Structure formats: structure tokens, C-alpha cells
């Protein structure tokens, strides 16, 4: 009965902290610490019965979620997070169909998906990025532009010592190895980010395959594929080039791959670091549409890294049980909290960047308002 | 004597209690017959159910794509992030959507045909060796071994293919094989790192050999020993006996066994998905990456669900319907061959 | 060369080729079993049974229990329907009905497993709103192995010697009593071994379960919840690099393989035992 009462109270617009839930667990709804103003308060707390938050989707987001399982249950004993992979496309379709409570996705929903599913929302919980890696024995550093990469994936550049690549990398001896471009099988948020970047930098790509979670890859004889970020690392044999999310960076380094420096909109060559990622967010996330679908690809800024994205949790704002709704709101709020899930010990392992401190308060309010609408 | 009359009394007394005889059915028998009749209809019902679901799910795609479904080479859901849709023949899809599955048809038929062409001679030859030449003491455990192999899960074959067999054969056998490329261009380099059409076909071969071989062994045991001994008595070598007596005797059985292997190869999903490279194109050479119908459906279903018009899912249903049609048609055709020559009963074996 | 010599040379070439064929059959098979077990045995620790696949754990408890639960449920569903159907075909069905039903059952055996999975997804997971569930997976697997159980059961019943039936009729037994007392005992080994073999097939399946049961990191929690199973672990973990996950993939493959081989050997043992029994019946 108490849960029913709690679920009935809408806490939009109030700044008061509402204590709720069982007495054994502390509750908090607004972020504490830092100089950011308190955003809109959201009803959170430990549900009265055990809730399992089933999640599927992005393999870029998965390692981060796996780290959050234990601390989440330590904080809220009745909430258990159960993440799995399968690619962003699976996450979105599972969330739509109700097969999972949460869908992890690097890609925001499409206009068609929004209109077909009016109660669906995509809620950012962290910021991540994507690197372009290559395996070329003897070469450890390489500068590449989106235009050149697009041409590689289109098949017009086939060898590593192609003049177009050499022109960007004077002083580096490039071998005559055949390039083996790797793509992601199935429906992948990483593919969406990568092809968005290619579309922004190469007009033939924009008019051809275009951006998407799955695209028709131009036929390249030496093309290979993998079904997850770690799979891309494993499949990257000498000569390959692959797009790999930052949560697999350490695996890529251990496997002996090298990260390329990408040219951003300002013309500078950068790799994904917290500062270059932060610069892209500052440039791109000054405001956010009400459905929270925002691209951070190829933003202005001297230091901006070109392939940056929000990590989205796709969820149905109309839940069948108030306990589920409470658990979801609690998890999302806690995950964004710098004292909760967004502590540096969890983020840095996957090279993610926290939302708080990177986006302005207005964006945070919009996100919190969306979370509060989950009932 | 008293016991005998007592027993006779029992029987008549029992008969007086009016139990049904074997020719009429008591109430329980009628129940049993009804219940088992319902169970007997289930396989047929399932088959009809599957066919109906596939046709209904595929219908929008059939309307949208028409015949170009089978001839086109591009599988594109269209612009997933579009705000408009296109309509054709009364069904909607995303802009730039195009569904042509010719590469998958080629991949499916190529891998299955290569596997069948390689597996049948090897299976028959090996089975002949086991039954005619190798002494029973060794041959019997080996035939048990063969039956066990037929039970190894597909995913284990896939694991072996991608982790052990593929890299090995790409490093040691393919480079030599690509020398044929001078004569047949389809065999030219590059040989890849172990994935691809040929590797998938070879693993499929290894998968269907146990089925064909153990079925052939069963058939070989049924060859009348008198006929074989008669041939040997006439002075024929064991080879001539095999060629003239044994093989013709089991000919239709080999066709039946090959059908089982073919069905398994056509429908194999997981092992192929792990090995063939999952690239949507007719490969440039035999070592290149490709895909098959079954593997593509498994890997693309999630992507198809992103298409909010639903056309992606319908296209995959049409693809599944195509595979179902190919499987059923080849199954029926093979049965006709078997039934035409000898009223053969197909031995029990594995499908996929 | 004399004709005899030529024929001997041809024979030698032929048997040489057959020997090569036999080698090509045995060698890869041995390689598979040895390489899988070699990679799996070092990883077969007790912790496999106590930990699950969740998060960073490297256990198989949920997958093993899930596979067993799936097998038992499939045995109940497909076993009941299959044995009854086989009984119907052998004992009750008029000849025309029997041959038609038999034909369709064998055609069902030729349906690719991915199509069965797709139908299960469309009809059960989405159509009936079951979402990813154990029950959907069980029904999909049952559809796949039903034809085998029907065939082996029918074969078992029709292999019972005619003399036994005729004796029962002569004694005036009712149909049901004849089936129960006279037909089932000799047919039982054949039925059971057929069930065991079908179970072995279903244990090795992955494709039909991918879109019906999906996967779960936890122990089976109800008919309408997803469930974990061993083949999925092998399928996903083999694509993830890293010694730990690869080891888990091999361990799952090894356990699956051993489980299947055990089932097949048990089935063969039952068949062999029954053959000896029937031979001794001397009718």
C-alpha cells in the first residue's frame, strides 16, 4: 500500500528530497556534492519486493553495467541488475517487445521508432566514445581522416601504402599490406556511430550506405566481421582496420593493436581521452531535444574527438508494476550519480565520462524529467 | 484336478464380468485411441502450422519485392532513421529498402553441394573399408565411434572450425590449394585467415560424414552374404565384388543417406555462422567470406527488428520460407528417387 | 600386364583410396574430440558448478541446470506426444491414415531448425506475448525432435513379434490390456532408447533456442522467464577474446559433448540389451 502511495506521487518540479522505501536502505534523489545545482527530484528508493532489471544490448555499454551489478545491490538490496549483450539493435528491440526491462544502446531511437512506440524513451546514463584501431606490425601511430576511412570501407583504397594514407602520415614507412576492413555483424550501435562519422566526412558514404545500426557494406574482397567489440579485437589480424568502442581499449592494447588519430572538424588529430571527449560534449550538448536523442558525432572544437556518444538505456515509461518503475528510476538516477554508479573507479575502467560535470544543468534536468516520467 | 476346474471357473466367471476382447474396444480403449489419435495428428498439424506462419509472415515481403527478391544482391533495410516511408503494392517499407537474396542462395547451395559431393564418396569409401577389409575387432568399436560423432552438437563443430581447423588449414593447405588458381580463377589467392566459404563447406562435410557413413554401414550389413561369397567364389577380387555386387545393392540406400546429410547441411545455422564470415556477397574466390540463408536469418533478426515498418522481419520470413521450400522440395524429390527404385524405408537419422 | 595382375592393381588402388577415406573420416573426428577435451579438461573445476555466467564469474551452473531443465521438459512434452503418436501409428491407425501421418512426420524432420525458431519467435514470443521464455524454447525443441520419437516408437511397437499379439488375441485380452501387458514390455527398450537419442539431439541445439528462450544468467526461474543453456555459452564466449572467456566456451562445449555422448551410449546399451532379450524370446 505504501508503494502504491509512493508511486502515485509525482515529484516533478519539486526540489524537496522525499524519503521512501524500506528503512534499511538510504535513499536520495538529487545529486550531492559538486557545484551543479540540484536537478528535479525523482522518486527513488528500494522496492519492497525484489526486482530484477533484465537488460540486453550494446556490447560497448555492457562492461560498465557489469561493474555496476554488485554496488547497485549493495546500495539497494532489492534491485538486481542482469545485463547481457547482443548489440544495440537487440537492446532496442527487446525493450520495445518487453523481452528486457532495459535496452542498452549506443544509438538513440529513430523517428519511426519514437512515433510507433510513444511510451518509449532513451535515457543517457554516461558518455562514451569509439576508436579506430589497426593492426600493422612496425607502425604504432597513424593519422587518418573520416574521408580516407570511408574510402577504405568502400573499397577504393586497398593497400596500407596508398598515397592517400601516406599523404597524411609523412615520415612513416607504410608497408604494402592489403587492408582488411572489419565490420560488425547484426545490428550494432557501434556501426551507427562509425557510419555516422563516415557520413559526416564523406559525401559518397552519406548518399550511399549512410548511417544506421545495420548498413549495406560496400563489397570489399578482404572484408571480415565480428559480433561484438571484444570480437572485433580478436578478429583484427595483421592488415586489419576496425572500429572498437572505448570500453574494449585495454583488450585492444593487450592484443597488440594500435589506435589511429582521427581528424576532427577543426582539422586536428586526436585520440579519445577524457578531455577530447569532454570537448565534444561541451560543443554538442549545449541543449538537448525533449526526446533526448542527440548526436555528438563530428562536433566543433579544437580538441573535440569526432566519435563521441551518449550511452542510452531504452526503457518503456509505462511499466506494468510500480515496483519495476521504482527500481528503474532508482537505477538510472544512481547510475548517473557521481557518488553512485558514475564514480571514476567504474567509469575509468571503460574509458567512459560521467554525465554530471560534462553536460549543462538544463540537459540534466531534461534527463531527470524523463526519468521521473517512468511510472 | 480341483485346481483346474477352479481355474476354468475363474475364466468363465471373468468372462461373465464382460471384459472386451481384442477385437472390440472397451471404453478405456476408446479413450486411448482418441488420445493417441490426437497425438498422431500433431506432427502433421505442426507442419501445417509452420508453413502457414511462414507464408503469412512472408506475404508483405513477397508483395513488396516480387521476383527481384531472388535475383537482387543487396539486402538493405533502408534508411532506419528516416521520417517517411515508401509504399509498393500496398505494403510499406523504409526509403532505399531493397531485398535481394541471390548471394545467400549461392552461399547456401554452394556450401551444401560442396559438402555433399565431398562427404558421400568419403563416407561410402570409408564404410566399405570398415565393413569389408578391417577386422571385426577394430571395425565394431569404430562404427560405434561413428555413431557417436553424429551426435556432436553443431556449436562444437563451429568452435573447432573457427579455433582449430580454420587457422590450421588456412596456413598449411590453402596456400598450396591456391596454386590451382592459375587454372581455375575461382581458387586464386588471397586465402584469408581461416574463415570463408571453403572452410565452412569443409566443416559441413565433417558434420555430415558421420550420418552418411553410419547409415551406409547399416546398409552394408544387409547385403546378402551369399551374393558376396558367390562373387568371391567366381574369382572376383574384393574390389570387384564391392563394385559389382555390394554398391549396386545399396545404391538407393546411399541416396537416402545422402538426403539426410543434405538436409543437415542446408539447415545448419550455428556452425556456418561462426565460420563463414557473415559478409553479404557472392565471394570473389572460394576462400572468401560469404553467408547462407540460415546463418543470415540468425544474425540479422535483431537488425530487422529495428525497421519500424516491419518489412525487415517480413523479408527474413520470406527468406525462411525459401529455405523451407528448398529443404522440402529436395526432401520430396529424393524420396521419389528412393521409392521409385525400391520401396525403401529411410533409416533413422539426424536432421540438423 | 596380365588381366589378373591388372585387376589386383586396381583393387589395391581402390582399397588404398578407401583407406584414405577412412582416415579422412577418423582423423578430423578425433581432432575435434581431443582438441575440445584438451582445452576443456584443465578448466573443469568444481567452481564451474557453483558459479554462474553472470558478470565476471566464470561458472556454468545456470547453463548446466538450464540445459537439464530444458531436457526434462522437452522429454515430458515431446516424449508424451511422440510415444502416443507412435502407438497410434503402430496400433490404431488405418493403413492409409498411418502412411499419410508417417509421411508428414518425416517431412517435419526436414524443417530447418532456424525456421522452427523463427516460427516459435513469431507465434509464441511475440504473437502470444510470452516474451523470451523457457516454455517457448521447450515447444520449439519439441517440434524439432518429435518426428524422431514418433518413428522410433512406431518401430519399437511394430518390431514386437506377431506371435505375441496373436497369443493375446487368442487369450481374449482387450486392446488396451494387450498393449499394456504384451506390447509395451518388449517395445520399452526401443522406446526408451529412442527417447534418449532424441534427447541427445535436443541437447546439442542452439538455433531454435536463440529466439525463443534467449538466455539468462540465473538459474531457471519459471516457465515464462528466459533460461540459460550450455550451447549458448559456447556460441557467445567463443567470439570474445581473452583466456578466461575462451576457457569457459571450451568448458561448456566439453560438458555438452560429454553429456551428449553419454546419452548416446546409454541409448545404445538399452537397444543392445533389448536385442538380446528379443532374440531369447524365440518366437
Q: How confident is the model at residue A34 (pLDDT cuts 50, 70, 90)?
A: very low
Kindly state the average pLDDT of the residues C220-243.
83
Asked if C38 and C78 sit in the same domain, the reply is: no
Residue C254 has pLDDT above 80, yes or no: yes
* B78 pLDDT more than 80: yes
- Of B88-97, B328-337, B340-349, the poorest mean pLDDT is in B340-349
Q: Which of A162-176, B137-151, B223-237 has the highest mean pLDDT?
A: A162-176
Q: Report the residue count for chain B.
A: 352
CA-wise closest residue to B86 among B97, B76, B77, B75: B97
Contact B283, B197 (CB under 8 A): yes
What was the pLDDT predicted at C283?
A: 52
d(CA C23, CA C21): 5
What are the grid coordinates assigned to C168, written together? 493375446
Q: Which domain range does residue B286 map to?
A: 101-341
Q: Would the pLDDT of B245 be above 70?
A: yes
* HEC secondary structure over A100-121: CCEEEECCCCCHHHHHHCCCEE
CB contact under 8 A, B156 and C148: no
Q: Structural domain of residue C193, as residue ranges?
A: 44-281
Residues C95 and C142 in one domain: yes
CATH of the domain at B309: 1.10.3720.10
- Judge contact between A247 and A58, C-beta under 8 A: no
Averaged pLDDT of chain C? 86
B49 in any annotated domain = no
pLDDT recorded at residue C171: 87
What is the Cα–Cα distance from C186 to A87, expressed in whole angstroms? Answer: 53
User: What's residue B188's pLDDT?
Assistant: 80
Q: Is A110 on the interface with B (CB under 8 A)?
A: yes
Asked whether B310 and B318 are in contact (CB, 8 A), the reply is: no
C137 and C176 fall within a common domain: yes
Percent share of chain A, pLDDT over 70: 89
The pLDDT value given to residue A3? 43
Please, is A339 exposed, middle or buried when counting C-beta atoms within 10 Å of its C-beta (0-12, 13-18, 19+)?
A: middle
Q: How deeply is A360 buried, as exposed, middle or buried, from its count of CB atoms within 10 A (0-12, 13-18, 19+)?
A: middle
CA-to-CA distance for A171 and A110, rounded, in angstroms?
A: 44
Alpha carbon of B200: minimum distance to chain C alpha carbons (Å)? 14
In whole angstroms, what is the distance from residue B259 CA to residue C278 CA? 31
d(C-alpha B161, C-alpha C38), whole Å: 16
| Pairwise CB contact (< 8 Å): C260 & B153 | yes
* Total domains present in chain C: 2
For strands A258-263 and A142-144, give the pairing. Answer: parallel
Whether residue A31 has pLDDT greater than 70: no
Q: Lowest mean pLDDT: which of B188-197, B249-258, B263-272?
A: B188-197
The number of folded domains in chain B is 1
Pairing relationship of beta strands A79-86 and A51-57 according to DSSP bridges: parallel
**Rg of chain B (C-alpha set):** 27
Q: Is B27 among the domain residues?
A: no
pLDDT above 60 (res B352): no
Condensed to tens digits (0 to 9), the pLDDT of residues A47-101 reads: 888 888 888 888 889 889 988 988 998 999 889 888 888 888 889 988 887 878 9
Check the CA dihedral A159-A162-A168-A169 and report its sign: positive
Residues of A in contact with B299 (CB under 8 A): 185-186, 227
- Whether the pLDDT of residue A40 is over 70: the answer is no
* Alpha-helical segments (H) within chain B: 2-16, 27-65, 68-71, 102-128, 136-149, 154-160, 166-172, 174-177, 197-221, 225-233, 238-241, 247-267, 270-275, 293-304, 311-341
Backbone region of residue A97 per phi and psi (left: phi > 0; alpha: psi in -120 to 50; beta: other values):
alpha
* Mean pLDDT across C188-214: 88
Indicate if C23 and C93 belong to the same structural domain.
Answer: no
Closest-CA residue in chain C for A225? C239
Q: Within this chain, do residues C98 and C18 fall inside the same structural domain, yes or no? A: no
Q: Please report whether residue B253 resides in a domain.
A: yes
pTM: 0.84
Task: Identify the sign of the CA torsion B269, B273, B278, B283.
Answer: negative
Q: For residue A144, is the peptide bond before it cis, meaning its omega torsion is within 30 degrees of 0? A: no
Q: Does C159 touch chain A (CB under 8 A)?
A: no
Q: Is B294 on the interface with C (CB under 8 A)?
A: yes
Instruction: Indicate yes or no: CB of C22 within 8 angstroms of CB of B129.
Output: yes
Round the average pLDDT of chain A to a whole number and report it.
84
Q: What is the mean pLDDT of residues C182-206?
A: 88
Give bridge partners of residue C5 from the DSSP assignment: none
Which residues between 115 and 154 in chain C have a beta carbon less than 8 angstroms from any beta carbon of chain A? Answer: 125-126, 129, 131-132
Selection from A330, A311, A316, A324 nearest residue A368 by Cα: A330
Name the average pLDDT for chain B: 84
Q: Is A325 exposed, middle or buried (0-12, 13-18, 19+ CB in 10 A)?
A: buried
CATH of the domain at C109: 1.10.3720.10
**Lowest-confidence region among A234-243, B319-328, C115-124, C217-226:** C217-226
Residue B95 included in any domain: no
Strand runs labelled E in chain C: none
| pLDDT tens digits, one per residue of A158-212 | 999 999 999 999 888 999 999 999 999 878 889 999 999 999 999 999 888 888 8
CA distance A317 to chain B (A): 19
Judge if C12 and C111 occupy the same domain. Answer: no
C17 vs B contacts (CB less than 8 Å): 125
Q: Above 80 in pLDDT, residue B341?
A: no
pLDDT computed for residue B13 by the predictor: 53
| C-alpha–C-alpha distance, residues B313 and A110, integer Å | 17
- Tell me if B30 is assigned to some domain: no
Same domain, C264 and C144: yes
Pair C120, C194 in one domain: yes
Query: For residue C116, what pLDDT is reported?
Result: 94
Residues C107, B274: C-beta atoms closer than 8 Å: no
Chains that touch B (3 or more CB pairs under 8 A): A, C
Instruction: Give residue B7's pLDDT band: very low, low, confident or very high (50, 70, 90).
Output: low
pLDDT band at C10 (very low <50, low <70, confident <90, very high): confident
Q: What distance in Å separates residue C226's CA from the closest CA in chain B?
A: 17
Of A6-10, A78-82, B167-171, C81-85, the range with the highest mean pLDDT is: C81-85
The dihedral over CA atoms of B275, B279, B284, B285, expressed in degrees to the nearest 10, equals 0
Would you call C260 and B317 a contact, using CB atoms and an 8 Å cutoff? no
Q: Are residues C11 and C78 in the same domain?
A: no
How far apart, in whole angstroms, are the C-alpha atoms of residue A323 and residue C149? 45
Helix (H, G, I), strand (E, B) or coil at A52: strand
Point out the domain boundary residue: C10, C25, C43. Answer: C43
Q: Is residue A30 pLDDT above 70, yes or no?
A: no
- pLDDT interval class at B8 (50, 70, 90): low
* Residue whose C-alpha cell is 538426403: B259
Q: Is residue B51 part of a domain?
A: no
Residue B168 lies in a domain: yes
| B308 Cβ under 8 Å from any chain A Cβ | yes
Do C105 and C12 have their domain in common?
Answer: no
Under 8 Å between Cβ of A303 and A278: no
Residues shown for chain C: 283
**Rounded CA gap, C283 and A208, in Å?**
76
Best mean pLDDT range from B97-111, B248-262, C126-140, C269-283: B97-111
* Residues C113, B269: C-beta atoms closer than 8 Å: yes
How large is the average pLDDT for residues A211-233? 85
The whole-angstrom separation of Cα A342 and Cα B99 is 43
Residue C149: enclosing H or E segment and its boundaries? helix C134-158
Cα-flanking dihedrals φ and ψ of residue B142, to 5°?
Answer: -65, -35
The DSSP line for B45-87 is HHHHHHHHHHHHHHHHHHHHHTTHHHH---EE---TT-S--EE
List the one residue out of A188, A177, A272 whose CA is nearest residue A231.
A188
Contact state of C148 with B348 under an 8 Å Cβ cutoff? yes
**Which residues in A lie closer than 8 A to residue B74 (C-beta atoms)?**
216
The answer to whether residue A263 scores a pLDDT higher than 80 is: yes
Are C28 and C59 in a shared domain? no
Looking at per-residue pLDDT, the higher value among A55 and C225 belongs to: A55
Determine contact, residues B278/B289, Cβ cutoff 8 Å.
yes
| 8 Å CB contact of A186 and B308 | no
pLDDT at A127: 93
Cβ(B129)–Cβ(C22) under 8 Å?
Answer: yes
Which helix (DSSP H) or strand (DSSP E) does residue A81 occupy? strand A79-86
**Is residue B80 domain-resident?**
no
**Strand, coil or helix: what is A123?**
strand
A96 touches chain C (CB under 8 A): no
Question: What is d(CA C218, CA C223) in angstroms, rounded to the nearest whole number?
Answer: 14
- Please tell me what DSSP assigns to residue B184: S
pLDDT(B344) > 60: no
Query: In this structure, are residues A262 and A298 in contact, taking their beta carbons and an 8 Å threshold?
Result: no
Residue C31: pLDDT above 80? yes
Examine the domain organization and report whether C139 and C248 are in the same domain: yes
CA distance A155 to A179: 9
Whether residues A251 and C218 touch (CB distance < 8 A) is answered with: no
- On chain B, the residues whose CB falls within 8 A of the CB of A93 are 302, 305-306
Cross-chain residue pair B350–C201, CB shorter than 8 Å: yes
The cell for C95 is 493403413
- Residues from chain C that touch B122, judged by Cβ atoms under 8 A, are 21, 24-25
Instruction: Using alpha carbons, select from B315, B99, B85 the residue that is nearest to residue A115.
Output: B85
E strands, A135-255, are: 142-144, 180-184, 224-226, 240-245
Amino acid at each position: 500500500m505504501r508503494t502504491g502511495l509512493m508511486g502515485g506521487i509525482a515529484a516533478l518540479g519539486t526540489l524537496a528530497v522525499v524519503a521512501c522505501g524500506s528503512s534499511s536502505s538510504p535513499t536520495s534523489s538529487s545529486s550531492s556534492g559538486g557545484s551543479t545545482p540540484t536537478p528535479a527530484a525523482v522518486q527513488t528508493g528500494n522496492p519492497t519486493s525484489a526486482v530484477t532489471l533484465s537488460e540486453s544490448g550494446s556490447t560497448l555499454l555492457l562492461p560498465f553495467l557489469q561493474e555496476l551489478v554488485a554496488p547497485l545491490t549493495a546500495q539497494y538490496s532489492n534491485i538486481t541488475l542482469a545485463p547481457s549483450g547482443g548489440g544495440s539493435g537487440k537492446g532496442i528491440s527487446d525493450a520495445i517487445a518487453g523481452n528486457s526491462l532495459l535496452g542498452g544502446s549506443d544509438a538513440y531511437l529513430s523517428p519511426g521508432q519514437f512515433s510507433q512506440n510513444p511510451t518509449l524513451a532513451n535515457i543517457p546514463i554516461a558518455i562514451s566514445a569509439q576508436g579506430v584501431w589497426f593492426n600493422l606490425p612496425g607502425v604504432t601511430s597513424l593519422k587518418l581522416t573520416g574521408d580516407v576511412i570511408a574510402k577504405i570501407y568502400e573499397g577504393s583504397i586497398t593497400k596500407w601504402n596508398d598515397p592517400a594514407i601516406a599523404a597524411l602520415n609523412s615520415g612513416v614507412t607504410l608497408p604494402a599490406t592489403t587492408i582488411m576492413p572489419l565490420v560488425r555483424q547484426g545490428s550494432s550501435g557501434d556501426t551507427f556511430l562509425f557510419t555516422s562519422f563516415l557520413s559526416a566526412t564523406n559525401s559518397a558514404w552519406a548518399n550511399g550506405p549512410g548511417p544506421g545500426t545495420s548498413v549495406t557494406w560496400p563489397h570489399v574482397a578482404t572484408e571480415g566481421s565480428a559480433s561484438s567489440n571484444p570480437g572485433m579485437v580478436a578478429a583484427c589480424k595483421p592488415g586489419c582496420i576496425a572500429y572498437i568502442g572505448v570500453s574494449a581499449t585495454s583488450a585492444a592494447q593487450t592484443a597488440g593493436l594500435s589506435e589511429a588519430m582521427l581528424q576532427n572538424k577543426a582539422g586536428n588529430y586526436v585520440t579519445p581521452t577524457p578531455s577530447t571527449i569532454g570537448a565534444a560534449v561541451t560543443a554538442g550538448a549545449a541543449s538537448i531535444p525533449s526526446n533526448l536523442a542527440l548526436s555528438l558525432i563530428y562536433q566543433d572544437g579544437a580538441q573535440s574527438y569526432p566519435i563521441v556518444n551518449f550511452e542510452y538505456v531504452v526503457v518503456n515509461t509505462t511499466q506494468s508494476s510500480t515496483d519495476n518503475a521504482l527500481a528503474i528510476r532508482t537505477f538510472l538516477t544512481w547510475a548517473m550519480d557521481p557518488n553512485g554508479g558514475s564514480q571514476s573507479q567504474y567509469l575509468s575502467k571503460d574509458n567512459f565520462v560521467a554525465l554530471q560535470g560534462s553536460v549543462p544543468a538544463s540537459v540534466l534536468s531534461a534527463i531527470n524529467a524523463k526519468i521521473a516520467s517512468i511510472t | 484336478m480341483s485346481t483346474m476346474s477352479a481355474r476354468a471357473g475363474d475364466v468363465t466367471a471373468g468372462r461373465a464380468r464382460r471384459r472386451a476382447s481384442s477385437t472390440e474396444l472397451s471404453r478405456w480403449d476408446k479413450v486411448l485411441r482418441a488420445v493417441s489419435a490426437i497425438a498422431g495428428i500433431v506432427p502433421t498439424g505442426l507442419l501445417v502450422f509452420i508453413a502457414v506462419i511462414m507464408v503469412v509472415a512472408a506475404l508483405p515481403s513477397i508483395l513488396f519485392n516480387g521476383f527481384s527478391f531472388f535475383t537482387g544482391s543487396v539486402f538493405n533495410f533502408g534508411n532506419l532513421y528516416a521520417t517517411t516511408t515508401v509504399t509498393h503494392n500496398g505494403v510499406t517499407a523504409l526509403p532505399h529498402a531493397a531485398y535481394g537474396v541471390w548471394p545467400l542462395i549461392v552461399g547456401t547451395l554452394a556450401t551444401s553441394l560442396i559438402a555433399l559431393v565431398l562427404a558421400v564418396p568419403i563416407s561410402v569409401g570409408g564404410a566399405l573399408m570398415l565393413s569389408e577389409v578391417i577386422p571385426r575387432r577394430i571395425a565394431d568399436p569404430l562404427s560405434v565411434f561413428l555413431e557417436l560423432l553424429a551426435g556432436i552438437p553443431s556449436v562444437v563443430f563451429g568452435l573447432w572450425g573457427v579455433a582449430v581447423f580454420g587457422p590450421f588449414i588456412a596456413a598449411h593447405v590453402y596456400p598450396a590449394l591456391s596454386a590451382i588458381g592459375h587454372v581455375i580463377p575461382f581458387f586464386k589467392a588471397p586465402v584469408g585467415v581461416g574463415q570463408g566459404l571453403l572452410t565452412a563447406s569443409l566443416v559441413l562435410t565433417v558434420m555430415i560424414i558421420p550420418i552418411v557413413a553410419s547409415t551406409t554401414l547399416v546398409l552394408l550389413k544387409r547385403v546378402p552374404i551369399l551374393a558376396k561369397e558367390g562373387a568371391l567364389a567366381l574369382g572376383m577380387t574384393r574390389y570387384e565384388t564391392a563394385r559389382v555386387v555390394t554398391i549396386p545393392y545399396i545404391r538407393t540406400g546411399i541416396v537416402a543417406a545422402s538426403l539426410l546429410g543434405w538436409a543437415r547441411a542446408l539447415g545448419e545455422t550455428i556452425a556456418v555462422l561462426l565460420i563463414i564470415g557473415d559478409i553479404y556477397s557472392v565471394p570473389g574466390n572460394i576462400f572468401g567470406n560469404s553467408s547462407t540463408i540460415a546463418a543470415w536469418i540468425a544474425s540479422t533478426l535483431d537488425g530487422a527488428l529495428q525497421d519500424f515498418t516491419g518489412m525487415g522481419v517480413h523479408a527474413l520470413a520470406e527468406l525462411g520460407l525459401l529455405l523451407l521450400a528448398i529443404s522440402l522440395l529436395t526432401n520430396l524429390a529424393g524420396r521419389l528417387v528412393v521409392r521409385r527404385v525400391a520401396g525403401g524405408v529411410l533409416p533413422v537419422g539426424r536432421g540438423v | 600386364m596380365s588381366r589378373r595382375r591388372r585387376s589386383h592393381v586396381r583393387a589395391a588402388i581402390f582399397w588404398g583410396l578407401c583407406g584414405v577415406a577412412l582416415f579422412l573420416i577418423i582423423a578430423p573426428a578425433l581432432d575435434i574430440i581431443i582438441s575440445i577435451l584438451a582445452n576443456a579438461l584443465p578448466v573443469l573445476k568444481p567452481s564451474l558448478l557453483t558459479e554462474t555466467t553472470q558478470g565476471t564469474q566464470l561458472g556454468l551452473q545456470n547453463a548446466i541446470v538450464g540445459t537439464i531443465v530444458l531436457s526434462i521438459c522437452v522429454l515430458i512434452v515431446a516424449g508424451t506426444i511422440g510415444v502416443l503418436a507412435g502407438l497410434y501409428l503402430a496400433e490404431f491407425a488405418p493403413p492409409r491414415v498411418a502412411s499419410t501421418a508417417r509421411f508428414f512426420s518425416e517431412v517435419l524432420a526436414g524443417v530447418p531448425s532456424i525456421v522452427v525458431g523463427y516460427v516459435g519467435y513469431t507465434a509464441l514470443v511475440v504473437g502470444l506475448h510470452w516474451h523470451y521464455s523457457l516454455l517457448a524454447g521447450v515447444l520449439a525443441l519439441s517440434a524439432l525432435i518429435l518426428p524422431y520419437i514418433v518413428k522410433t516408437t512406431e518401430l519399437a511397437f511394430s518390431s514386437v513379434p506377431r506371435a505375441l499379439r496373436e497369443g493375446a488375441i487368442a487369450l481374449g485380452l482387450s486392446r488396451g490390456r494387450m498393449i499394456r501387458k504384451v506390447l509395451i514390455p518388449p517395445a520399452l527398450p526401443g522406446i526408451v532408447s529412442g527417447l534418449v537419442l532424441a534427447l541427445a539431439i535436443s541437447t546439442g541445439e542452439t538455433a531454435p533456442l536463440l529466439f525463443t528462450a534467449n538466455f539468462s544468467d540465473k538459474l531457471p526461474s519459471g516457465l515464462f522467464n528466459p533460461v540459460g543453456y550450455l550451447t549458448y555459452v559456447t556460441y557467445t564466449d567463443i567470439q570474445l577474446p581473452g583466456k578466461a572467456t575462451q576457457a569457459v566456451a571450451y568448458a561448456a562445449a566439453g560438458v555438452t559433448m560429454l553429456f551428449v555422448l553419454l546419452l548416446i551410449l546409454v541409448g545404445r546399451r538399452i537397444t543392445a540389451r533389448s536385442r538380446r532379450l528379443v532374440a531369447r524370446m524365440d518366437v
